[in-house]
Amino acid sequence: MNLSGILFFPVTPFDAEGRLAEEVLAEHIGRGLEHRPGAVFVACGTGEFPALSEAEHEAAVRVAVTAARGGTPVLAGAGGPLGSALRQARAAREAGADGLLLMPPYLAMGPREGFTAYVRAVAEVLPVIIYMRGSVVLTPEQVVELARIPGVVGLKDGLGDIDLIQRVVLAVRREIGPGFAFFNGLPTAELTMGAYRGIGVELYSSAVFAFAPEIATAYLAGAESLITEFYEPLVRLRSKVPGYAVSLVKAGVRLTGLDPGPVRPPLVDAAPEHVAELAELVRHGRAVAAAHGKATATAAGR
């Protein structure tokens, strides 16, 4: 699977009755696709994967595939108990998804061989990117072993252990080659991309892309001042309340004029004063992004 550019993780919208708002999701994904992300990861962490029923998960994937129209890869979240992960994987395959982001299993964690068997079973359905976070902490040797499984195509790092991920990258490149994908999956990944690029990881998931794609794309185009002017203050705001890595994204989508509804428990919606702070951050970030675009255009015209 050849991924490139910014990886788009849309939110999952709900209506006033708490049901999946399919039309809003289609509009949300459509707006993001206008900015040409490298892939759409639907019903994943930002999409409140743990809070979705299997029927909602299936519907969300179908909406994303329809919106992408084959022009952008669509990957779906899958995970939890093996039976659930397999049902999600099969439903995603039937909907036309290109692959899966495999979340950590819940609670029960067996030995190395058990996790390998878990990954192998799901990868038989659709190509899998393994999500390393929480209970899934893999050694370089384990990742090499998993990368040899047909259908295992990448690793998303949500740990942020640079020493570990560097050794993982080196081991996989040495034993497997360049085709295996790695990406930075930390919340607000732009803040840590300097470190990840230094170890050869160029791909990253962008929560900001979901509500301010012009800021996310300006950063990708070289607007490094956004790190201090936008991303670092955003991380400070995100750190005020557990779960804000999702709640603030939904609040940001609402600021664009599209109502994604509330987050589901155990998450809580962003407090009004934090939404106001986010709105000001986005306003300033857009100004910085616009100034970078003008400067770049002026330099190109010389």
The CATH number given to whatever domain includes residue 16 is 3.20.20.70
Cα separation of 174 and 291, whole Å? Answer: 42
Least Cα distance to 190 among 202, 172, 176 occurs for 202
Q: Any idea how long the chain is?
A: 302
268, part of any domain:
no
Helix-strand-coil percent breakdown of the chain, rounded to 5? 50, 10, 35
CB atoms within 10 A of CB 241: 16
Closest residue by Cα to residue 23 from 58, 67, 79: 67
pLDDT tens digits, the chain, 302 residues: what are they? 788 889 999 999 999 999 999 999 999 999 999 999 999 999 999 999 999 999 999 999 999 999 999 999 999 999 999 999 999 999 999 999 999 999 988 766 778 899 999 999 999 999 999 999 998 999 999 999 999 999 999 999 999 999 999 999 999 999 999 999 999 999 999 999 999 999 999 999 999 999 999 999 999 999 999 999 999 999 999 999 999 999 999 999 999 999 999 999 999 999 999 999 999 999 999 999 999 999 887 777 76
| Backbone φ and ψ of 122, nearest 5° | -75, -40
- Cα–Cα dist 208/288, whole Å: 15
- The pLDDT value given to residue 298: 79
What is the C-alpha separation between 82 and 119, in angstroms, rounded?
9
Residue 231 to residue 110: CA distance in whole angstroms: 38
In a domain, 201, yes or no: yes
Give per-residue burial for 142-164: e unless 16+ CB within 10 Å, then b: bbbbbbebeebbbbbbbebeeeb
Given 106, 118, 131, 196, the catalytic residue: 131
Q: What is the pTM of this model?
A: 0.96
Active site annotation includes 204? no
Per annotation, catalytic residue among 156, 196, 204, 244: 156
Residue 107 pLDDT: 63
Q: Is 217 annotated as a binding residue?
A: no
pLDDT at 286: 97
Q: Is residue 299 part of a domain?
A: no
Q: What is the pLDDT of residue 1?
A: 73
CA distance 6 to 204: 6
- Token pair recorded at residue 110: 């067996």
Contacts of 17 (CB under 8 A, 6+ apart): none
Q: Is 285 part of a structural domain of the chain?
A: no
Active site includes 156?
yes
249: Cβ contacts below 8 Å, ≥ 6 apart: 11, 46, 207, 210, 211
Tally of domains in the chain: 1
105: which 2 tokens? 């299993």
| 3-state SS assignment for residue 78 | strand
**Amino acid residing at 75:** L
Q: 139 lies in which domain range?
A: 6-215
